[in-house]
């Protein structure tokens, strides 16, 4: 009742309207994956668990998403901590954030132009005599290890991590560092006691955003990936738009399972970040 008196409930209306369409799509996809047209069934999920192609795709997608997310976080954190005084200025900050202005597939094409066997780097190495033929250049695009996909996502997401972390470092008071130094602490102690408690929520949030986007995005894996192994999004796209309608429920089942997995990850992260608050509430109640 207090919410209605203060009109706080009205603030949730834009969020509800924004989530209405994706929630409807998720509900419709789950309904399609649990129905054979006439009755409830789990046969499509059983087919997924018995499909070597699907299981390989899941492992490959998790590998790409985890490596891309962790590398983006580590590089973004290192750049923010190292170049924080420089990033307070407008021009360096604008240069760092410049990659966010372009879509992911643009950076995918940039990776192909620069790092493919016939790309700019390969041509430069041949001109300098460091490379005999273009075939001697390492396969970094459309490779089975997903190196090109990872490079594209890291290149694109590091500026996002810096964007998320920079306000946190701006809010940390220099007196905290002076206190640690006065007590005889080193650089690791400064990071562990001053920075880490402040950046942990942002790091967790950034990881979830990057991981969820990377594991479910289509354009970069389709552009830089191979026919096998393939990302889960590419496999679901092939099932959905394939020549036979019988595989379309498998696409619904795969993406529904992925969506539920991401929701569980988000809930687990929320509970992890708020565990101290829950403990305090239980202490007050008891």
Both tokens of 129, joined, read 């005599």
> Taking 90 as the threshold, does the pLDDT of residue 208 lie above it?
yes
**Which CATH code is given to the segment(s) 41-278?**
1.10.3720.10
Mean pLDDT, to the nearest integer, of 162-186?
84
Phi-psi region of 129 (alpha: psi -120 to 50; beta: other; left: phi over 0): left
Q: How confident is the model at residue 129 (pLDDT cuts 50, 70, 90)?
A: confident
Q: How far is CA 106 from the centre of its chain?
A: 18
CA distance linking residue 131 with residue 122, whole number of Å: 8
Taking CA atoms, 272 is separated from 114, 154, 183, in Å, by: 41, 26, 30
Confidence at residue 279, expressed as pLDDT on a 0 to 100 scale: 62
Highest mean pLDDT range out of 185-189, 235-239, 275-279? 235-239
Mean pLDDT, to the nearest integer, of 25-37?
79
Confidence at residue 74, expressed as pLDDT on a 0 to 100 scale: 95
Closest CA to 216 of 204, 205, 208: 208
Q: Which of 161-170, 213-222, 269-278 has the lowest mean pLDDT?
A: 269-278
Q: Whole-number mean pLDDT of the chain?
A: 84
Per the listing, tokens 């594991």 go with: 215
Q: How confident is the model at residue 285 (pLDDT cuts 50, 70, 90)?
A: very low
CA distance linking residue 47 with residue 54, whole number of Å: 9
- Which is more confident, 164 or 131? 164
> Taking 90 as the threshold, does the pLDDT of residue 65 lie above it?
yes
Confidence at residue 42, expressed as pLDDT on a 0 to 100 scale: 84
Instruction: Give the pLDDT confidence of 237-269 residue by residue, as tens digits.
Output: 988 887 677 788 888 889 888 989 999 999 898
Mean pLDDT, to the nearest integer, of 190-195?
86
Phi-psi region of 167 (alpha: psi -120 to 50; beta: other; left: phi over 0): alpha
CB-side exposure of 261: number of CA atoms within 13 Å? 12
Instruction: Give the pLDDT confidence of 78-88 residue by residue, as tens digits.
Output: 999 888 888 87
Mean pLDDT, to the nearest integer, of 97-114?
86
> Cα-atom radius of gyration of the chain, to the nearest Å?
23
Q: How confident is the model at residue 7 (pLDDT cuts 50, 70, 90)?
A: low
User: For the chain, what are the domain ranges?
Assistant: 41-278
pLDDT above 70 as % of the chain = 93
Confidence at residue 244, expressed as pLDDT on a 0 to 100 scale: 73
> Taking 50 as the threshold, does the pLDDT of residue 286 lie above it?
no
Burial class (CB in 10 A: 0-12, 13-18, 19+), 87: buried
């Amino acid at each position: 009742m207090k919410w209605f008196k203060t009109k706080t409930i009205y603030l949730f209306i834009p969020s509800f309207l924004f989530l209405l369409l994706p929630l409807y799509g998720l509900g419709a996809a789950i309904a399609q994956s649990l129905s054979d047209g006439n009755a409830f069934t789990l046969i499509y999920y059983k087919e997924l668990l018995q499909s070597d192609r699907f299981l390989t795709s899941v492992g490959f997608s998790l590998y790409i998403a985890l490596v891309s997310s962790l590398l983006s976080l580590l590089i973004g954190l290192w750049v923010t901590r190292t170049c924080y005084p420089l990033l307070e200025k407008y021009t360096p900050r604008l240069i760092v954030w410049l990659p966010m202005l372009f879509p992911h597939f643009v950076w995918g094409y940039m990776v192909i132009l620069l790092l493919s066997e016939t790309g700019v780097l390969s041509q430069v190495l041949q001109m300098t005599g460091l490379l005999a033929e273009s075939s001697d250049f390492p396969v970094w695009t459309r490779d089975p290890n997903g190196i090109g996909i990872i490079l594209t996502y890291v290149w694109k997401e590091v500026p996002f991590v810096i964007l998320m972390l920079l306000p946190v470092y701006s809010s940390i008071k220099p007196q905290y560092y002076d206190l640690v130094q006065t007590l005889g602490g080193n650089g690791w102690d400064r990071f562990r006691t001053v920075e880490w408690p402040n950046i942990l929520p942002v790091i967790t949030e950034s990881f979830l955003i990057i991981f969820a986007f990377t594991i479910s995005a289509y354009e970069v894996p389709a552009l830089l990936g191979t026919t096998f192994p393939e990302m889960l999004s590419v496999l679901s796209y092939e099932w959905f738009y394939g020549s036979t309608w019988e595989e379309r429920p498998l696409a619904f089942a795969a993406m529904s399972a992925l969506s539920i997995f991401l929701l569980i990850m988000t809930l687990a992260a929320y509970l992890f970040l708020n565990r101290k608050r829950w403990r305090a509430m239980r202490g007050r109640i008891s």
